[in-house]
Amino acid sequence: MSSGLDMFSLGTVKLPEKTRHYDTHFEVGLRAPIDHRDINNAAESINLSVIALYAGDHWLNMQSIVKRDLAARTERYKPGVYRYTISHATPWLDAGRVVRTWLHLRLVVEEPGPAGHRGWRLLSHEQMFAGEGKGRNRRVIRIRGLPPEEQAARYALEARRAKCAATADRKAREAADKAIAVYVRSILDADPDFLIPASWAASGHIEDGYVGKRLDAAADVVRDAHHRLQLTRERLTIWGHALNCGLHDATVNRPAIIPLPGDDADALGTLI
């Protein structure tokens, strides 16, 4: 645990003599010692939370930050766990501590507002930190706000990764063609009057305009949806589960389910 302020500290700030009581609690939180390691390890989630809290705004005063942080905490915790209101000192202290972490990670800067009110400007609505690796090898690194040469190298790395991911996604879509065709045929074999469910559109795997239409009339559209909508590998797996649910719904009222031929069964296994 750090025993003092770090290189991104606020410096020595003399409080106005007539500072409100709650403002003083905010200042105490703002000056609180922090555990650098814990904050650095949580930088990605802290980054995402501050972007969500600002909600498109570029600058917020102290009161706005306290109110929004209080609302987020109240929603995050189970009912009754965080029971404080804006008239209690604790939310002001907690919000001050939160801003302290933002300053440490260089996500915000203190800057007076148009009327001279104290506030903090969000440096970027773009994600600045991201986690990389898995398990014990996972670490959180800064991906934006780097020195020019490092930032250029980061952009180049992300471009290479995006290209590799796009290629892998395309190959996965091509490999799923047979399984999806088998699903469509099997659903129609089980229920020739099957209607495209709203859940397929809600999950983003088919356009809204096809909801409620007969599958036999839109079979080609469904068979090609994963290519047309450029599904990623992750979304392709979810699409496979959705089709499997559709097959279950189509067969649930049948007295007996006819087993799929071996090749067709193997094809379905490649998708889910």
What residue ranges do the domains of the chain occupy? 21-142, 173-269
pLDDT mean over 66-78: 89
pLDDT mean over 8-14: 37
Question: CA 219, 224, 225, 230: dihedral to nearest 10 degrees?
Answer: 180
Assess contact for 143 and 161: CB atoms under 8 A: no
**Contacts made by residues 167-173, CB under 8 angstroms, sequence distance 24+:** 168/233, 169/230, 169/231, 169/232, 169/233, 169/236, 172/233, 172/236, 173/226, 173/227, 173/230, 173/231, 173/236
pLDDT of residue 252: 80
pLDDT band at residue 5 under the 50/70/90 scheme: very low
Assess contact for 125 and 51: CB atoms under 8 A: yes
pLDDT of residue 86: 83
pLDDT mean over 67-89: 84
- Which is higher by pLDDT, 4 or 153? 153
pLDDT of residue 261: 56
pLDDT of residue 135: 83
For residue 21, give every residue at least 6 positions away whose Cβ sits within 8 Å of its Cβ, in sequence order, or none.
89
On the question of pLDDT at 16 being above 70, the answer is: no
d(CA 150, CA 116): 36
pLDDT-above-70 percentage for the chain: 84
Stated pTM of the model: 0.64
Which tens digit of pLDDT belongs to each residue from 207-235? 999 999 999 999 999 999 999 999 999 99
DSSP, residue by residue, 106-162: TSEEE---TTS--EEEES-SS--EEEESSGGG-EEEE-SS--HHHHHHHHHHHHHHH
d(CA 96, CA 12): 16
Within a 13 Å sphere around the CA of 1, how many CA atoms are in the beta-carbon half? 3
pLDDT-above-90 percentage for the chain: 71
Q: Write down the mean pLDDT value for the chain.
A: 86
pLDDT mean over 124-151: 92
Tokens read off for 162: 């995006």
